[in-house]
Chains A and B, each alone.
Chain A
Amino acid sequence: MQLIFEKSRPGRLGFSLPQLDVLPAVCLPEKYCRQTAAQLPEVSELDVVRHFSNLSRLNFSVDTNFYPLGSCTMKYNPKFTEKVAALSGFSDLHPLLPQLWGGGMLAQGSLEVLYNMERLLSEITGMAAFTLQPLAGAHGELTGVMLIAAYHKANGEKRKHIIIPDSSHGTNPASAAIAGYTVVVIPTDSEGALDMALYKKALNSETAAVMLTCPDTLGLFNPKIKEIADLAHGVGALMYYDGANLNAIMGKCRPGDLGFDVVHLNLHKTFATPHGGGGPGAGPVGVSEKLVDFLPISRVIRRPDGTFALDYHKRKSIGYIAPFYGNFGVILKAYAYILALGKSGLMEASENAVLSANYCLARLKDHYVVGYDRICMHECVLSAARQLEHGVHALDIAKYLIDQGFHPPTIYFPMIVKEALMIEPTETENKETLDAFIEAMICAAQLSESDPDALHRAPSQMPIKRLDETKAARQLDLRWISKK
């Protein structure tokens, strides 16, 4: 595959400018002027169109293929939400408007969306209030830990550490550390749950919070969650809920009822807005009653006359964490999604997400070692330990799946499972797709015994074949330089 720079030929143009019929602009001072010509590709308009059209055909996305990337909830993003977000009443609004004198009255519809969305998320999670401002999941986590710190500070307490299980997402210890806490890691027991004896030993009056993912990253629901929360509250610590796996429990149980004080959600996971390259994310944070005063500014309020406004006068607030009011377009799409599905639709989404994962687990457990052989929630974790005996790693199986037209599952996470393959099918895939994926996984398991090298060579059908990932990481090659 050629870069557009490699398609460049001297003098080839994709534009023609008319004769200059006005006086040339005043030149910039010499020191600001370019000394050598910019090295731009010299190509025709057709060259450019073909180059990028062909690149776009190589895109891999939920819209083209099955994408069971564990812990990421790569569900289908319904197209009607894009239509809603593109309505000019929303998309043409200037983000500064609600902060201008009288401007809020020209943005009532958008403020109402924000206000209602906060209520909906509070209802779904059982929390007292929400901020929609955090711009991504990890940003929500940091905001959540800052709220925890503000709470303890207001109580005149200096608490030092945050307890996190060894199966957690890497962002949990990172958020805790950036907010100034030391991290105490608790191992997982043989059932795949937090080791209660070690947890009780680590918990004391210096514990600021306990950060948990529920169901956890092994795809398992911890039946002792209430006891864990009661113990934490007993020493004055707060409970933090990592919402990465909320897709398993919508309408079934609420983090607030389980005893969590802070919750972050990923709208781009559970609430079907696009991930990453498909658009920015959003990581709203919900809190229990005792933390409401600390939420970031501004807050969306409803005045006695029924109109909506932004309120910046919150003395105890942790302050600004994001410009304007978060990624409004993302919030809007998630709002449309929740309203379209309604209570029964959200419950059904979770039920089918759990059913899909258990179907994959049931059909694959004779072919792969299962991390913890229990009914799973919305994702299941397999291990390629048996395949490793033939020299085949989880990575080789992942590469083989690419050839078969599937995005690989998450591999090597959670780190406590050797050669982990973490599969999250989501509720939006039909049985035929799941069956085709399962057949490919079974094929990989059989190949690992009959022809392991076929897996080592994969992918062989892609425009780029197997990369030397070690060499790529050791000898970074990030810039194309003309050989001339």
Chain B
Amino acid sequence: MSLPSNLFYTKDHEWAKIEGDQVTMGITDYAQAALGDITFIDLPKIGAQVKQAQWCATVESVKAASDVYAPLSGEVLKANVALAEHPELVNKSAYEQGWFAVLKISDQLEKNKLMNAQNYAEYLKTLTK
């Protein structure tokens, strides 16, 4: 299971790549493996204001439909339209081609609530018991 060290992670299995005042987000490798083959993604709407730990997108797989929560609060600048035609990109490349959206960060301090790769790895161990 891949866990890039330059990313931040949430308990609900989203990743966040913070670059200046922008953050790119998606779901983790663990999340895509647990969901199984993804069939549909309802992406965040451009211009929408999302709040940390609140709903921003929905993922449907052959097993279930699941909510995706925003890792940080902010305005949605970009959404990955390629996922509409090719939701399998999230299964194949959760951290690169399978990104969901780019947000303009409204509160840099919220970053402190996220986990780094090492903490997230520890957290995953508690789940697989």
Contacts and interface: CB of A to CB of B under 8 A. Distances in A.
Interface string A440-484: 000000000000000000000000000001100110000000000
A469 B60 CA distance: 13
A415 interface: yes
Q: What is the interface of chain B mostly: helix, strand, loop, or mixed?
A: loop
A469 B64 contact: no
Contacts of B88: 470, 474
Interface in B31-74: 37, 39-40, 60, 62-64
B8 to A, nearest CB: 23
B37 A470 contact: yes
A474 B62 CA distance: 10
B56 to A, nearest CB: 16
A469 B39 CA distance: 9
Interface size range of chain B in the complex: under 10
Interface in A420-457: none
A295 B39 CA distance: 41
Contact of A474 (B63, B64, B87): B87
Nearest to A412: B63
Contacts of B37: 469-470, 473
B87 to A, nearest CB: 7
Contact of A415 (B60, B62, B64, B87): B64
A470 B63 contact: no
Nearest to A394: B63
B64 A473 contact: no
Contacts of A415: 64
B37 to A, nearest CB: 4
A189 to B, nearest CB: 14
Contacts of A469: 37, 62
Interface string A411-423: 0100100000000
Contacts of B40: 473-474
A412 B64 contact: yes
A137 B60 CA distance: 24
Most chain A Cβ neighbours within 10 Å, of B40, B62, B87, B88: B62
Most chain B Cβ neighbours within 10 Å, of A395, A415, A469, A470: A470
A470 B63 CA distance: 10
Interface string B5-42: 00000000000000000000000000000000101100
Contacts of B87: 474
Contacts of A473: 37, 39-40, 60, 62
A444 B63 CA distance: 20
A202 to B, nearest CB: 15
A468 to B, nearest CB: 9
A470 B37 CA distance: 6
A395 B63 CA distance: 9
B55 to A, nearest CB: 11
Most chain B Cβ neighbours within 10 Å, of A412, A469, A474: A474
Nearest to A474: B39
A456 to B, nearest CB: 14
B39 A470 contact: yes
A395 B39 CA distance: 16
Contacts of A412: 63-64
Nearest to B34: A418
Interface in B60-96: 60, 62-64, 87-88
B64 to A, nearest CB: 6
A395 B37 CA distance: 13
A114 B127 CA distance: 50
B126 to A, nearest CB: 12
Nearest to A475: B39
Interface in A120-153: none
A470 B32 CA distance: 14
Contacts of B64: 412, 415
A50 B56 CA distance: 52
Nearest to B62: A469
Nearest to B40: A473
Contacts of A395: 62
Nearest to A415: B64
Contacts of B39: 470, 473-474
A85 to B, nearest CB: 37
B24 to A, nearest CB: 24
A212 to B, nearest CB: 21
Nearest to A470: B37
Nearest to A468: B37
A233 to B, nearest CB: 30
A470 B60 CA distance: 11
B6 to A, nearest CB: 30
A412 B63 CA distance: 6
A180 B12 CA distance: 25
Nearest to B65: A170
A415 B63 CA distance: 9
A395 to B, nearest CB: 8
A412 B88 CA distance: 20
A415 B66 CA distance: 10
The list of the 10 closest CB pairs from A to B, nearest first, reads A473-B39, A470-B37, A412-B63, A469-B62, A474-B39, A470-B62, A415-B64, A412-B64, A473-B62, A470-B39
9 contacts: A412-B64, A415-B64, A470-B62, A473-B39, A473-B40, A473-B60, A473-B62, A474-B39, A474-B40
Interface of A: 395, 412, 415, 469-470, 473-474
